[in-house]
Structure 1
Amino acid sequence: MLPYGQFLGYKKGEDGFPEIVEKEAETVRLIYKMFLEGKTHSGIARYLTKEKIPTPSGKDEWQSSTITSILQNEKYKGAAMLQKSFTVDFLTKKKKVNEGEIPQYYVENSHPAIITPEVFDLAQHELRKRKNAKGYKTGGGCFSGKIICGECGSFYGSKVWHSTSKYRRVIWQCNHKFKNEEKCKTPHIYEEDLKSSFIKAFNSLLENRDEILEGYEAVIETLTDTSRLEKENARLQSECEVVAELVRKCVEENAGTVMDQQEYQERYTGLVERYEEIKMAIDDNLNKRQERNAKKESIKDFMRMIEKNDTLLDGFDEEVWNATIENVMVYQEKKLIFIFKDGLEFEVNI
């Protein structure tokens, strides 16, 4: 079922089914945690290499492609996509990627999970978000991937001024400030100003703490309900299997009887096009469900932090920052809009 020699976190159990290797599973969970905290694939790979944590194949140096593979593999949430590939020649054992020639099957709870489905969905949502993001980079700090230029939409990156003197300061600046046809007018921001502004925004939020917490579970369920999407997915999956079977029968019929090839090709092409349309609808449905599940987990993290903190912050707290902030938009005149994970926004002028 699993390529155990190249697969981190599992071994073949005595009953023949996958069994979790806890020490390796800790590395898998760390990868997801670092990624969701804003680290890039290459940044995670460098950290694991530096810490001398062995790769899935037992090597010393991690590659960013390995991180990508782990983040995208549904097996870590205890699910399996069957028949991703199939054997085309049983004599040579030649295989090819399944591009619709035979049905694929998605099996939930097929083996023990290393991460929760919610964390997996969060990671898939974050992967798509970063892919579409402009100028996404991270230097490893908690502000990476959070600060956005309100003018061009690019992420802010960190720079160090006077790095070798007593006047050393970390500033954050639009990564595309000098790459656009017209230079962005949004300002650079000192890191200490970011921290103090966050404290103001969070403390303002806490003043409405009781109001926010009141009835939030019902609000979350309303905002993130996936029941209709799940019903639609079941319908699409059923239709997909029917069309895939029609494709198979069409091919078999052409192979076993004399058919008009133009008529066959038109029929085959029409079925394959319909299959691809359904697959695209299934992928779109999955993306929507993952986005809503990711939103649910983000809001729950936010609410847990609000429940935990009943006193005002007197200093910057990275844990509170990571749990509550979705993004910070930067505008001219040093205006910051803090967007919390529940959708609330607070404006702070530096």
Structure 2
Amino acid sequence: MAEERIVRVIAPTASKADAGNALQAAKRRVAAYARVSTDEDEQLTSYQNQVEYYTHYIKSRPDWEFIGLYADEGISGLNTKKRSGFRQMVEDAMNGRIDLILTKSISRFARNTVDSLVTIRELKAKGVEVFFEKENIYTFDSKGELMITIMSSIAQEESRSISENITWGMRKNMARGKVTMAYGKFLGYRKGADGKPEIVEEEAEVVRRIYRLYLDGHTVREITRILTGDGIPTPSGKNCNWSVSTIMSILRNEKYKGDALLQKVYTADFLNKKMKKNNGVLPQYYVENSHPAIIDEETFDLVQAELAKRGGSSRGRRSGSVFDRKVICGDCGHFYGQKLWYSDASGRVYVWRCTHKYDTTPNCGTPVVREDELQAAFITAFNQILGDKAGYVAELAAEIENAKPARIGQIRRYLKALDGQPDFITSFDGDAFKELVENITVRSSGDMAVCFKDGRKIEIPKNIRKENQK
């Protein structure tokens, strides 16, 4: 016969006060997370509603302790990298400050399935639960992860569909020639009352100045120093620290002449919003006269030709001389560089020499030249042109009739530089040299050839140059 089961009662030892303290200690530390993906009024209203709702809801529960509300406004839920509120919440939870996180839905938490599951598992391992109100899912529930996987996948596919629909609409607009600009980072334009770009004259003058400086012979790096030194705000308006890439972008952007090339880049991955340059992968659309121009076509084409000629170089003049990258070796084609020859009581004396000649394997025999010799060569060549200035100007003016746009712009700038010049010069004019001269070639014999920007080349024998130095 089986023994009789004996049950003994263990009397409680804690007081009611102790029980109250235990209940107080057992309060769950609760936080909420809210997010909206755009800055539209309707979305912002939803955001404010979420903030007010969860703050009131958590504080109304006696068994919960309100830790705080974490939020991200106008940010996509496709990844967590730019969601500072979300990342701070997860960090606080992992550090033991939060027991439970409330959020409106899985799509508010994350639209990326991988991000969603990884974060939930990390929080779960630390004893932190997440509650999705719309789906009524607690992550500690045995069926929770399966449901979250399914719902996150649905949210991700919904985002993919939305992204594809937006992209389709944008491409349709491109095909119709509709032009949009990132006005907040685009110098010279703002969105007009009709929704189309309109010129901001104060900013447009900065753009024109950049083009003028470049055509006057300044390098891109020099232009950055000039604008930064003058305290001119960058396109973003956040500071006055101009960069080479910003200047190059302005010089190359066809929008400044009133045209627009659409779909220069495309979104390669909708999850991380990674952009790629469109190198023929997708069609592009070139819209002519799409909006008011800041730079006339001749000037723009002239700058593009100059960019191609300089090879897109952004190097500054290390010497600070107008002859930098203007003097060429007649033997090997390398540029001449400036070097301090000697320094004594009479002052510093600089010379120019072929940079290739002094490499480890020299292969040219061009001589070292002084700066006053280069100046004398220009004076001699320029005086030959000024000797028949009227005929020279008439010849250039006649060429405009059948010239291409870039050449027309070059000639007009050249004629403008000639305007006001005397019939004869006796001293070196650095500004005239920069505006008129393409380069000076130094021969191994010591002779030089001054090539002007209109294409005219004047040979200067060594003995004639010596005479002009006296």
Instruction: With the length of structure 2 as denominator, give the TM-score of the two structures.
Output: 0.53
Letter in 2 for 1:2: M
- The secondary structure found in structure 2 opposite 1:332 is coil
Tell me if the contact between 2:199 and 2:294 (Cα under 8 Å) persists in the aligned partners. yes
1:335 paired with 2:443, answer no
1:4 paired with 2:183, answer yes
- The secondary structure found in structure 1 opposite 2:431 is helix
Gaps of 5+ in 1: 226-292
Letter in 2 for 1:217: A
Q: Distance in 2 between matches of 1:61 and 1:101?
A: 35
Q: Distance in 2 between matches of 1:109 and 1:180?
A: 54
The structural deviation recorded for 1:103 is: 2.8
| CA distance 1:305–1:48, shift in 2 (3 Å) | closer
1:29 paired with 2:208, answer yes
1:193 paired with 2:373, answer yes
| CA distance 1:123–1:305, shift in 2 (3 Å) | closer
Q: Distance in 2 between matches of 1:305 and 1:60?
A: 31
Which residue in the other structure is 2:302 paired with? 122
Identify the match of residue 325 of structure 1 among 426, 437, 444: 437
1:17 paired with 2:201, answer no
| CA distance 1:340–1:331, shift in 2 (3 Å) | same
Tell me if the contact between 1:147 and 1:155 (Cα under 8 Å) persists in the aligned partners. yes
| Number of aligned residue pairs | 281
Which residue in the other structure is 2:321 paired with? 141
Within-5 A mapping of 1:66-215:
66-86=246-266, 96-131=276-311, 138-139=317-318, 140-162=320-342, 165-179=345-359, 181-215=361-395
- The secondary structure found in structure 2 opposite 1:334 is coil
The structural deviation recorded for 1:82 is: 1.8
* Residues 230-265 of structure 1: CA deviation (Å, up to 9, x unaligned): xxxxxxxxxxxxxxxxxxxxxxxxxxxxxxxxxxxx
| CA distance 1:306–1:83, shift in 2 (3 Å) | same
Q: Distance in 1 between matches of 2:192 and 2:216?
A: 33
Letter in 1 for 2:388: N
Gaps of 5+ in 2: 1-179, 466-470
Tell me if the contact between 1:162 and 1:169 (Cα under 8 Å) persists in the aligned partners. yes
Which residue in the other structure is 1:252 paired with? none
The structural deviation recorded for 1:3 is: 0.6
1:47 paired with 2:159, answer no
Q: Distance in 1 between matches of 2:312 and 2:256?
A: 25
Larger-gyration structure (1/2)? 2
- The secondary structure found in structure 2 opposite 1:308 is coil
Tell me if the contact between 1:86 and 1:98 (Cα under 8 Å) persists in the aligned partners. yes
* Residues 159-194 of structure 1: CA deviation (Å, up to 9, x unaligned): 344468532233333233323621532223222222
- The secondary structure found in structure 2 opposite 1:44 is helix
Letter in 2 for 1:126: E
Runs (4+) of structure 1 exceeding 6 A deviation are 88-94
Q: Distance in 2 between matches of 1:164 and 1:2?
A: 58
The structural deviation recorded for 1:101 is: 4.4
Answer 1 or 2: which has greater helix percent. Answer: 1
| CA distance 1:204–1:163, shift in 2 (3 Å) | same
The structural deviation recorded for 1:338 is: 0.8
Q: Distance in 1 between matches of 2:342 and 2:366?
A: 22
Letter in 2 for 1:3: A
| CA distance 1:11–1:159, shift in 2 (3 Å) | farther
Tell me if the contact between 1:137 and 1:145 (Cα under 8 Å) persists in the aligned partners. no
